[in-house]
Chains A and B, each alone.
Chain A
Amino acid sequence: MKPSDIVVDVKSAGYRNKLVFENLRIKIPSGKITALLGPNGSGKTTLLKMLFRRIKYSGKILIGFKELAEMSNREIARLISYMGEIALPDMMGLKVFEALLISRSSLYRGLIERQEDIREAEAVLRELGIEHLSERRLDELSSGELRKVVLGMALIKHPKYLLLDEPDSHLDMLSRIEISRIIKKYSGRTTIIIATHDPVFAVNTAEYFVLLRDGRVVDEGNLERIVGNKSIEKTFGVKLKYIYEDNRLVGIIPIYD
């Protein structure tokens, strides 16, 4: 076990009237991209939200040897970025550049951002190839553009742990591939966890997999293991056909019968 791994050992967790997890044990390796893969309602988002204390749990969550329950809000804010759906401030437009700067606001004291923060925002725009969107309003962006901006808002804090909730949702094929490519660029520097229900996106992006169904871990491990165990089939309850190219898994097709 590496010192910055995430270890989840939770007795129970969930919402006021719905228990999602019972006796959940997962270890997420640091510096890698981990995919939480499972059908809708399997607990992916709940698990991600537990990791920044948005969901109450009983038990233990260690983030790099540190007990999550004992960390301060500020500490968590600096360490972890979570990005899911964001609300669009339609009534009072917010521009992309401002949204990026706001996302760094937990890093500086006082109200006015520093030169450093402006440079970081410009760097993120460059890195994601969205410099042309800088002065556009969030509510005027297409889904693909918005996903990239949201990813930028998560990356700009330089978090040690990056939690991405369905970064591939509502995207066309090219945008999915682009998002996947961007996420992979940050692997190594950052521990990334993505929640998705698309096995194709998962296997082409992540290096480690946790398969969830109805709040239980079906299987966890690297690609060979979960394909060998037929775990994706078990998780989703469908028959699958795997497509390989140069010994690399490139596609997964569900069989309709």
Chain B
Amino acid sequence: MSIYRLFKRKILVFSTILLLLLSALVLLGFLFIHLGYGSSSIIYEYRFNRIMAASLVGLILGLTGALLQSSLRNPLVDHYILGIGSGGVFAVMLFYLVSSATAALALLTIVAGIGGLAALIITIMVAEAVGGSDVAYVLAGIGVNSMFSGASLLLSYMVASKNPFIAYALVGSFVAVDPGWIPLLIFLSILSFILYIFTAKPLNALLIGDEYAAQQGYNPRVARLLIVLLSGVIGASVVACCGLIGFIGLVSPHIARLLLGTSDNRMVPVIAGIVGALLLLLSDNFSRLILAGPFLVSVGEVPAGAIVSLFGAPFFLSIMIRRFRGRGA
């Protein structure tokens, strides 16, 4: 029996416990702060919220990114590449433009989800119309992404008077995270975890092929579409909180697969979630400190989304090169 086989169950059990513990800690910390124990210290509250938001968003993006990649059988996609994130940002901007009042955060989340869904449907339709290959998805995603990004940029000037932080939505940052986001993000994390539990087995079957999945008792088309849409919507809705953060959903599943040495969907999404949380937390810290620390050039900070793209984009390119080198395409 190989080492891997021996540890497989343990990895699954361990990561589940770790996740549960983390969520318990988050909940405890949240309650402490909001019941008044730490509320005298603004810094604590601010930092705590920021750390929580970054890790939860990372968790959601990593986990749903893994589900997206597996269900589309495409290692080159995530919410950013497919244009889902931009669709979400666009919807949020549009919402700010037409509504004058400050909106409830839950409503904003739903709006972002709907925007993401619309973008995803366009991407899928275009990609499937030209054959549905993995490159077709990337190219269709780039088109949709540019369209919604451009529109969002335009809108951002119009709504800047209503929300001065809105420009951050275009690059992704945790500067302006409201504490009210934490329970929403916890809710979305739980949703994505539930999605993972119900889709791990069908995704494994889909990995081996549609006919194979069918004889295992799944309807491959329905299963695939459902998983893609649900993981897309959940991933899109987080842009309402922190704006467009690319590549976390792309990189984390790859790191998870490397760590595990397998693409078994019973483990990859969980580990990808944990990796995503760590990556985004690190990036956010880095983005907060980079200007203050080594360079001491100015006050302020770089958006976390920029830091993520800085290492995410080369990673994406390297996956692409590896994927197509042996194929002559």
Contact = CB atoms under 8 A, between A and B. Distances in A.
Interface of A: 49, 52-54, 73-74, 76-78, 80-87, 89, 91-95, 97-99, 102-103, 105-106, 111-112, 118, 134-135, 153, 163
Given A73-B218, A92-B257, A135-B2, A111 B207 contact: no
B204 A91 contact: no
A111 B270 CA distance: 13
B162 interface: no
Given A89-B73, A95-B262, A112-B12, A77 B207 contact: no
A77 B209 CA distance: 15
8 contacts: A52-B215, A77-B216, A89-B208, A89-B263, A92-B268, A99-B208, A112-B9, A135-B4
B5 interface: yes
A51 to B, nearest CB: 10
B263 A92 contact: yes
Contact of B211 (A84, A93, A118): A84
A54 B12 contact: no
B5 A97 contact: yes
B205 interface: yes
Interface residues of B, number: 33
B216 A105 contact: yes
Interface string B142-186: 000000000000000000000000000000000000000000000
Main secondary structure of the interface of B (DSSP, over half): helix
B288 interface: no
B30 to A, nearest CB: 29
A61 to B, nearest CB: 15
Contacts of A98: 262, 264
A105 B12 contact: no
B107 interface: no
B219 to A, nearest CB: 7
A233 B288 CA distance: 79
B34 interface: no
A105 B218 CA distance: 12
B17 interface: no
A93 B215 contact: no
Given A91-B75, A105-B201, A81 B215 contact: yes
Contacts of B257: 92
Contacts of A97: 2, 5
Nearest to B207: A89
Most buried by A among B2, B266, B323: B266
Given A73-B219, A111-B266, A87 B75 contact: no
Contacts of A73: 217-219
B28 interface: no
Contacts of B263: 89, 91-94
Given A52-B214, A92-B207, A97-B2, 20 more contacts: A78-B217, A80-B215, A81-B215, A82-B211, A85-B209, A86-B209, A89-B208, A91-B263, A92-B70, A92-B75, A92-B257, A93-B263, A102-B205, A102-B208, A105-B201, A111-B12, A112-B9, A112-B266, A118-B5, A153-B208
B212 interface: yes
Contacts of B74: 91
A102 B205 CA distance: 7
Contacts of B212: 82-83, 86-87, 153
A85 B74 CA distance: 19
A91 B211 contact: no
Q: Which 7 A-B pairs have the closest CB atoms?
A: A92-B263, A77-B217, A87-B209, A82-B215, A91-B75, A73-B217, A102-B204
Nearest to B258: A92
A117 to B, nearest CB: 12
A97 B262 CA distance: 11
Nearest to A94: B263
